[in-house]
Amino acid sequence: MAQVTALFPSTPEGAEPARHFRNVLGNYPTGVVAVTAPGEDGEPIAMVVGSFTSVSLDPPMVAFLADRGSNTFPKIQAAGHFVANVLASDQAGLCRSMAAKGAQRFRDVAWQPSENGAPLLDGVVAWIECTLEQVVEAGDHVIAIGKVNDLRVVSEKLPLLFFRGVYGAFEPHSMRLEDRYLGWG
């Protein structure tokens, strides 16, 4: 712990460095994605991540981060492919259900199988279907890199965001009309 404190000289007196780290980074909003895959037993599996990003245009690749202690990521890794479902702002309840440990994550969840059998969740903003290409160890997480096989925007809904420890939505009136003409909407 002393080493972490030395890394962050701005940590307030008496504050836990890990909590300080989370508090500062919590000021950066992230999108919320449900990563789904078919399980070995045929049952769907899912995990929720707030660390999803584009990696490459050529070839098209994306990535997400999973905690090394995750019980779900090894199952997604074993499947060898996944779908990143971009959750909509009205899906905070679905997000909580899919993030719960030991819960029946797909109870009362409507979905359709993708080409590779991974769940495409109903009501999402978009989905990105991938083949798992590489897993890179990074601290207490792994970076899962996927080659994009197919993708689609399925709704004009706004995405679910995570900011300062709570779920929320982007305010549409803050988008500029010019953004639509520049391809950002």
Would you say residue 95 has pLDDT above 50? yes
50 assigned to some structural domain = yes
Would you say residue 81 has pLDDT above 50? yes
Residue-number span of the structural domain to which 114 is assigned: 30-164
The residues, any chain, with a CB within 8 Å of residue 70's CB and separated by 6 or more, are 47
Supply the pLDDT for residue 2: 45
Would you say residue 3 has pLDDT above 70? no
Q: For the residues 145-149, what does the mean pLDDT come to?
A: 98
183 assigned to some structural domain = no
179 assigned to some structural domain = no
Confidence of residue 14 (pLDDT cuts 50, 70, 90): confident
CA distance 4 to 82: 34
Supply the pLDDT for residue 183: 52
11 assigned to some structural domain = no
Confidence of residue 19 (pLDDT cuts 50, 70, 90): confident
**β-sheet bridge partners, residue 48:** 34
Q: For the residues 97-118, what does the mean pLDDT come to?
A: 87
What is the domain count for the chain? Answer: 1
25 assigned to some structural domain = no
45 assigned to some structural domain = yes
**Lowest-pLDDT range of 7-21, 108-122, 152-166:** 7-21
User: Are 111 and 44 contacting, i.e. CB atoms less than 8 angstroms apart?
Assistant: yes
Would you say residue 175 has pLDDT above 70? no
CA distance 160 to 124: 9
Question: The pTM is what?
Answer: 0.85
182 assigned to some structural domain = no
Residue 90's CATH number: 2.30.110.10
CA distance 105 to 115: 21
Tell me the pLDDT of the chain averaged across its residues.
Answer: 87
Would you say residue 167 has pLDDT above 90? no
133 assigned to some structural domain = yes
Question: Which tens digit of pLDDT belongs to each residue from 34-67?
Answer: 999 999 988 899 999 999 999 999 999 999 999 9
